[in-house]
Every structure is written in C-alpha cells, then in structure tokens.
Structure 1
Amino acid sequence: MLPRGSPYLPPHPHPHPHRGESVTSAETGPHDAGADFPAGFLWGSATAAHQVEGGNVNNDWWAFEHDPSTAARESSGDGIDHFHRYEEDFTLLASMGHNAHRLSLEWSRIEPAPGEFSTSALSHYRRVLTALADRGLTAFVTLHHFTLPRWFAARGGWLAPDALELFERYCSRVAVELGDLMPFVCTVNEPQMVALHGYLEGYHPPGVTNAVLWKRVGRTLLAAHRVAVRAMRTGAGTPQCGLVVQLPLLAPARADDEGCRAFCETMRGEIVDLYLNGLSGRDRGDWLGVQYYRKQWVDSASPTLFAQPPAGVRISQMGWAVHADGLRLILHRASETGLPLYVTENGIATEDDSERVEYLASHLAAVAQAMAEGIDVRGYLHWSAFDNFEWAEGYVPKFGLIAVDRENDFVRTPKPSAYAFERIARTGRLSALPDPG
C-alpha cells in the first residue's frame, strides 16, 4: 500500500463507513443489507470487435498481423466468429447473471472508404445492439478500440492533420444511426496505450518508435474524446459518454535513485495525469472508465523505459504483475476527476482458471473497499467475456470467463470463473467468491 500523500490517494480521504452502511449514488441506490455492492450495480464483461468478430480485413491491425516484419504473432483470422454468433453469446452472458456488456463498433466496417458509409454494417450493429437490449444487457459501446480503417491509417492515422475531423464525421454518423441504442458510449479505448504501444514501443500499429510522436498522439486522442462527446450529442437518444483509460500503478524500479523516481513521475504524467487532469470543461463526458491490470515499474535506464517485475512477484501470461490493491488506489486517483466511475476492464491472462477466481476475489474486494471509502463506482465489466485474440500476442493469452474451441466450430464453454462471477453478480456479496487468502 502506498503511504498517504502518494499521487494515488487523496490527502483527506472520505470517512470509512462501517460494513453494511450505505454508499449511495443517484443511479445505484442503497446497498442491500449485508451486501458489498448496491442494488442496481452493473455487472458484465467486455469484448472488442477485432478481437472477436473475425474477418476485419479492412483495418490497420489486419495489415499489421499479416506483415512478417511486425511483432504480431499470428492473424486474428475468424476471431471467435462473434460476428455471426452474437445472439447466442448474449443469451449465454445474460443467463450467467450479467446485466451489462461492453463491445466495440468496427470503424472499418462502418466507413470502409472515406465518407462512404455501409448501410449493411450499420444495420448489423443495430441488430447487435437490439439483441443486447432484448436480453436485458446494458450496452457500453466503444467507438474506437485500437483499430483504424486502412484508408485512415494511410493518411497518417492520428498524426494526420484532419484526423479529428474525420473521426468526428464517423462518430456523428454512428450517433444518428445507433445513438438510441447506446446508453453508454466509450469514446476512445486506452488512448495512452494506443500512443505508447504504437508510437513509442512500436509493437502495435503503426509500429513507430519515436519519443516525440507518442506524446503528440496521446494529446490528439484526448482531443478525439472531446470530439466524440460533441458528436454523440447531435444524434439519436441520450448516450452517456466516457473516456476509458488504462491506469497502471506505476512505481520507480529503483526507489533509492532520485533520477529514477523523477522519471517515474514524468511517465505518470504522460500515462495517467495527462488524461485524468485533462477531463475538465463542457465536453469532458459524463463518466470515466477505469481499466486496471497491473503494477508496473518504470526505469529510465531500460531501453523499453520499464523494468521487469521483481523476482517473486506473481505475474500473468502477459508478464504483468498482479497487485490487487492497485485497483483501489487507482480508483481513488480517478475519482479526483469528480466523475462517476465504472471499471470497464479488469482481468488476468492465465491458463489456470483457479487463478482467475482468486484474481476476481481480490480485485472485487479492492473495488468494494474503494466504495466503502467513498468512491463512486457504479459497475464492473470483466475483461474478457471470452478467450479471444489478444493483439500482438495472438490467441495464446487466456483472459476469458468462457473458453472457445476455435478448432471445433467455436464451441463456447463457461469456466468455473464464469460461475463464480455469476454468484457475486446475482448476490452482490464478496462471500459468494472464495477467499483470495
């Protein structure tokens, strides 16, 4: 736990209510007697179009996957065929206690050429969102989840001079055609990671390693969030918009080194503070999505700017350090925006599903503790609903509550963790999950 006064804890925290006392919000209502989460709390899981749909041949990620010079391990191919199986997938999730679901729209399907919008794609996503609503699943719909149409990428992507104008055009069309079926809109997914992975580390498209451009892209994506908020207000319905940000718990690799500590603060400024402090003014949105996976050590002496977790620290298949209390600390930091919070991604890549159950128990306990400390958290969406394509890592990492047999007609099989998640979603009680020990 970080000491009071750290960048992740407010200097004067809210009083801690006793277990069972109410922590209320306008949308969630009071706690049930003895429950850890309030009635009306949103429970669900998340996917992204390119990771599950299959056949997204017209975006920059498809090109990246098929370029042997890139870091991509394999092609997304058919995904998990969610494009055709979304109805059965939503039925399965609803049957397991989910009352919300996060997904994304594939921009390259909707606008396959500049200014050319696909009626077929828009009709498809209208059917998808209707199917969600029909099953009682509250939709969190992401407008940009990592992928770009090839034509947009060819113009320079987020570095193009008209990037914001083109993104606004896409968002405006989505608002008109689909806004009435989008109660929650996630504008831009993990802008820091788009910038960091794609323009500094180079293992996501466009594969650039430039110490200046990644910062420029990050600021452009923050502006893209505001553009999307404005656009969504021009269409149908009354979507509530939020930026969704991945917020690692950053720490210096060498705590006794003043230079390393200072560099950690610099990186925190670029990866965390830029996006949270930038959420002010009229177009900041209505809520904030918090995505948390790991504690991460910063090292200015490392070619990658980050250090491997210390020996003995538990890590996932992704090499990420598991640190449950980091989620509580990050929720405190995110709350400084004054916006209601939803955990829009949180999960672990592991072949051992018992690890996933433990991860759920410890991280949901962290969410419950943050709420008991006065933080306004209104929902939790686990990453991910299904084992799926994990970007440059391919299909090796297993994040899903539900396994998919891609060699046997994409058969879906819920894991024990899916049933554990169902128990807590239906009861709102941490006691429905095993003690993480």
Structure 2
Amino acid sequence: MSVTHPPYSATDALGRQDPELAEILLAERRRQETTLQLTAAENFTSPAVLAALGSPLANKYAEGYPGARHHGGCELVDLAERLAVERATALFGAAHANVQAHSGSSAVLAAYAALLRPGDTVLALGLPHGGHLTHGSPANFSGRWFDFVGYGVDAETGLVDHDQVRALARAHRPKAIVCGSISYPRHLDWAAFREVADEVGAYLVADAAHPIGLVAGGVAPSPVPYADIVCATTHKVLRGPRGGMLLCGSELAERVDRAVFPFTQGGAQMHTIAAKAVAFGEAATPAFAAYARQVVANARVLAGRLAAEGLAVITGGTDTHMVTADPAPLGVDGRTARSRLAAAGMVLDCCALPHGSAAPVLAADARGLRLGTAALTTQGMREGEMRTVAGLLAGVLTGGTRAVRAREEVRELAAAFPPYP
C-alpha cells in the first residue's frame, strides 16, 4: 500500500533559487520521514497528486465554471474540472459535485450560503461534544451569522443522542440540521438525521470531512442518499490535495455553484482541482478499497491496544480511521500527553471530551487525544505495527525505561515504512 517516491528536481531547483526556503521544505520532509503521523486529518498524497499540484495549471486564472469563465484561455482547465466533477459524481453516486471549494470550511460556508439567511436557526453537534468550528463557534462566521443550537452525545455511551436531536429539532424548528464531527469515531446514522429533518421541515447538511474517504472505499455508509448537501474535504482518508467539495442533488446544483462562486470565492485553484481529479480516480480503484479496509482494521486494533494499556477509549472503540481517547487514567491531561508524545516523535491532536474527564481531579484542564490511522496505513503499516504504536504511546505517557527508548524506536519504525520509498 506504500506510494512511490516522487522526484525532487523541483526541490533541487528551489535550492538553487531560494536555499533558505528549500531548507525549510527539506526539514519538513525529514520530520515526516522520522516521526509517526497520527493526526486524524492528515495523510500522504500520491506522487501523481503532488505532480498535479505542481503543474502549470497553477498559472491559470479561471473564475467561473467550465464553459462560462470570466477569463480567456480556459479550454484545457475546463477539461480538468469537468473530469474532476465526473469522477466525483461517479465515485459518490451524486447528481452534482462542486470541486472548487478551497477547504472543508469553505464548503460548509457555501452550503450555508445556498440554504440559509443570516439569523436562521441551525441545529448541530455542540463544540464540546466534537462539533467543528463551522458548527456554531462564536469565533467563526457560523456562530456570528446564524443562531446555532447544539445537541450532544450520550454521557454513558458517547454516541449521538438521537432522542435529544429530535427534541431540540421540535423545540427550535431549525432551518437546517448539520450532522458531522471532528472527533466522533463511530458511523453517523444519516437516515435517523434525515427522518428528524423531514419531520421539522429542515434541510440536512452532512459535514463528512472525516468519513468521506471511507465512503469512497466502501467501508462507511454514504450520506449522499440522505443529505440535501454533503460537505467534505479531499485530503484526510481520501488522500487527495488539501481542499473541499460539495455534493448535492440536481435541484440544488445551481444554488450550490453560485454559493461557491461568486458568493464566497473568486478564482478556482485549477492545479488543486486537477489534483482532486487524480485523487478521485485513485479512490475508485480496488487498491483504494483495500486500503480503506486496512485503515479501519488498523484503527480498531489501535483502539483495543490503547484500552489495554490503560487509556479510556471514547465509545469503547471505533468504526472509522479515528480513535478518541482520554489519557487521564495514566495521570496526564491531553495537552501534556500531546507534548510528551511530540517529543518522542508521535504527532497527534487534542480534542474535546464530552461530559468531562475520566479522572475528576483533572477535569478542569484535561482534554482527549485524537488519533488517526490513515497516514500510517498509507505507509504500509498493519495490525502488528498498531500494537507497537500503542505500546510506544503508553510507554511515553507512563514514563520509565519505555519512555527513554521511545524516540529511537519511533525513528526505527518510521524508517521501516517510508512514506515515499
């Protein structure tokens, strides 16, 4: 499942032109090659995706859509965007795809622009329970422009409380319901959300930034048949360039397109759109389906071993690429844990813990850890390596002799599975 090393002639050329910046890029390359990338939102793209990102399409200004651009000379980039759209709609079974969104947040902004007006009520997963900034944070456009009501997860199971979703929907009659999370390790019940949305006459927006790659690989249920608009990223498990996309039915296609351009964005990034087309093509292969299955298998083993090492695994496991765990039983809070692990070469994120910490004494400052297996799986790691990673992680957090050797063992493991052999 490993990918092939891309040529570094471009980096060599940069070294001659701008050695200061070239050294930064080479240092980042060395960081990625000598540490373990456990960040749930990251992956390693293929050399073909990297080639498209560094292609002459980066030079082309292309405001508008294929056949209706505001700039001349767009005949060939039109072909690239049409190819990306065709591959996206075929891959996800959607009637329409917009591949111009610059990011997942840009995609969500466009979905809101297509469906809502400032002041409308929106029901979404509360930020303390794993909601994204675009789900109502007061620091974000969403919280400033719309009236968000947050639902949560069950205190016992950690699963979405659908009874609460229904009760809040009936009480607040939202214009839209958003389903999606940055730290929910289980499959979302798209059909249950659709049922509630229909009952109260709300639009359903699926923020599928994390699971969309698993959907492409056939190991996660698709939101496309249920949601009015699906927002997603093209990186993470999907293993494409950093960017966003929207999927919808034909009845909302024009509204979605106009919400992206001209309402929220200007010129499309054609090199990124070409790279998205490459990623969609790769995701349609049997090799990617096998990769997606391995991502989930690895995550389940990782979750099980972390629990055996003493961490409190939220929801008791995972259905996806993501594992959310509370390190408090090992005597550390999330931020301290992340810092210790980073020093040992294990890169991951903190996340909110719904309903407080497993250790009340640390509840004031404890947060959870969010891990992902997409990047490690791209490197070719399997279940055995996940057991090793869990042991290394626990050893760092508990200290002692296991922590002393952890950095060297991380280097050895990373060297055995280079991201670009």
TM-score, structure 1 length as denominator? Answer: 0.27
Q: TM-score, normalised by structure 2?
A: 0.28
Larger relative contact order (CA 8 Å, sep ≥ 6): 2
* Larger Cα-atom Rg: 2
